[in-house]
Amino acid sequence: CSPTCTHFYCRLTCTRPSPPSPSPAPQFDCNAGYAKWQSGWSPQKKAWCCEHVGKGCTPSGDPYDCDAGYANWQAGWSAQ
């Protein structure tokens, strides 16, 4: 607010802030089909839901535990 004064009186002038703009609608409904997200969601939905709501994230890193069965690796590990 800022005052505007004349010789006889002062008037306080205030401006209201603009209301916040609404958030954009979510690109995907991350609750829909969540029970079967691994096979039912598109790669785009998985990526969006993982980034925005933390659902549908695939584990990162090596899918194999190289310490498990190391003592018997020749007989126990597959060629893959």
- pLDDT tens for the chain, 80 residues long, are 777 777 777 777 777 777 877 777 789 999 999 999 989 999 999 999 999 999 988 776 566 667 777 788 788 777 66
Global pTM exceeds 0.95: no
Predicted pLDDT at 77: 76
Q: How many residues does the chain have?
A: 80
Asked whether 77 and 69 are in contact (CB, 8 A), the reply is: yes
Rounded to a whole number of angstroms, the CA Rg of the chain reads 29
